[in-house]
Amino acid sequence: MITAIHWDVLLSNVALVITILYGGSILFTVFMVILENRDPVKTISWGLFIILIPVIGIIGYLIFGQNYRKVKIFSRKELVDLERISSLSRDQVNELPRQKFLKNKKINEKRNIMTLLLNNSKALLTQYNKVNILINGEETFDSIINALNIAKDHIHMEFYRWESDNIGNRIKDVLVKKAREGVKIRIIYDDVGSWKISKMYLKELKKEGIKTYAFMPVRFPYLTSKANFRNHRKIIVVDGKIGFVGGFNIADKYIHGDPKVGFWRDSHLRLEGESVHSLQMIFLVDWYFISRLIIGHQPRYFPNHKVNEECLIQITSSGPDSDWSSIMQAYFAAISTAKENIFISTPYFSPNPSILTALKTASLSGVDVRIILPARSDSTIAYWNSISYIGEMLDAGIRVYLYEKGFIHAKIIMVDRVFSSIGSANVDYRSFDLNFEVNALIYNETHTISLENDFRRDLENSHLIIPGEWKKRPLKQKISASLARILGPLY
């Protein structure tokens, strides 16, 4: 009898201790979320997630939720070259008011964006550039392979997704050939995004002396500090003279479509001129981050390659290592200062309150705001999260279209027929706060109008959402969108 009583007391005490520890861990984690002073929407989302599903919520927060913008993953100040870039950007800020290109009234109206990017990301303003806009996979990869084939000195490539499929093997064959010719080749691939790349594929590259590095490999026990911060950039630099940036990764689906979503619609840029040096610097900083090898400002990587065409471009990058969410701020500045129109194409739409308010304010102020979203997506949560914003945008007079030909993966913003942004960054929380991204910002009427023409062709393959019809959609769809909206800031 006494033994039974002792066991009852012991079990009740153990249960009490477990309950206290369990409740304490929940409260402590929620307290840590609040202390980060992050976006209130994210704070509430994580707090609810942890309280409603404690075990999964706490683990999820430890892996995916911690804010590394304040606790730097690495210090860029270790790079001497970045001090040089900082000095050049300060000079450009001071000299900007006296530049002749500001005599163009429409370009002058976007001067605040130029200054913003010089200050928040040291994105140098380049004036002489040749730009080729590439539409869809075949055109893009043909251009890439042609550029790789003419390399004489070096090839630098950086991608989120790289697969060892048909197009991956075509590119590998070219790289092997160039390596045997003495071309120095460096490759960065994201460890999570490129999970399908085979060990044999990488072994073949390394056998030829090609340097390959996985960006922030996710390995236990370092899972919590790296899993959520991915390199989403897509960069190619050939001989410091030719550069590529945009939305395409290296995989067959970008050419032949995806079984789940069908035709893959995307855009990319081929650049020659001063802007290529900016892409080169971003690559070399990332190379230093993963290899700890400083290449430095060697002439072979920054050759004097002049082009006669004038096109103002800033290449800006952002990530959890940067002081500011520079691409998000550029989007905000472009949207909030628009006078005529704002055209946006994005596969994933989860704007923070600032961007959403700027879009609605612009529309209510008489600006023609149109947004193309995919009618079907490669991510169910991302799709329903995007859908959840449509109602309030329609209420503000924004015209929203769903692309029906396949999956639209292009990440493009066009404003006032003179400013455009194209690159790897989506209009969502992940691109703004968690991913390493890179965009080309173009101040040029000809190229912006060309992108607008592509946008209008995409409208022909899209369905305009009618407000009255939207309000009558099934309750199941409304619930799915609302639940995804709560999870949106978390992923």
Burial of 445 by CB count in 10 Å (0-12 exposed, 13-18 middle, 19+ buried)? middle
Q: Is the pLDDT of residue 130 over 50?
A: yes
Residue 483: its pLDDT value, please?
Answer: 86
Say whether 234 is catalytic.
yes
Options 409, 433, 447, 458, the catalytic residue: 409
- pLDDT value at residue 275: 97
pLDDT at residue 85, as a whole number? 74
pLDDT tens readout for residues 43-52: 555 455 555 5
Would you tell me how many other CB atoms lie within 10 Å of the CB of residue 436? 27
Predicted local distance difference test score (pLDDT) of residue 293: 81
Rg (CA), the chain: 24
pLDDT in tens, 137-175: 999 999 999 999 999 999 999 999 999 999 999 999 999
pLDDT, tens digit, 9 for 90 and up, residues 236-290: 999 999 999 999 999 999 999 998 999 999 999 999 999 999 999 999 999 988 9
190, 239, 266, 321: the catalytic one is 239
Task: Check if 409 is active-site.
Answer: yes
Give yes or no for residue 35 having a pLDDT over 80: no
Per the annotation, the verdict on 416 as an active-site residue is: yes
Nearest one of 303, 323, 339 to 433, comparing CA atoms: 323
Q: Is 232 a catalytic residue?
A: yes
CATH class for the region spanning 326-490: alpha beta
Q: Which two tokens stand for residue 478?
A: 């409304």
Q: Is 6 a catalytic residue?
A: no
- Domain spans of the chain? 2-65, 76-95+129-309, 326-490
Catalytic residue among 156, 232, 253, 360: 232
Please state the pTM of the whole predicted model.
Answer: 0.86
Do the first three CATH levels of 76-95+129-309 and 326-490 match, i.e. the same topology? yes
Burial class for 52, CB neighbours closer than 10 Å (0-12, 13-18, 19+): exposed
Residues with Cβ within 8 Å of residue 408, at least 6 apart in sequence:
265, 266, 345, 347, 372, 373, 374, 458
Alpha helices in 150-297 (DSSP H): 166-180, 199-207, 223-226, 253-256, 275-291
CATH superfamily, domain 76-95+129-309, is Endonuclease Chain A (3.30.870.10)
* Catalytic pick among 42, 110, 172, 411: 411
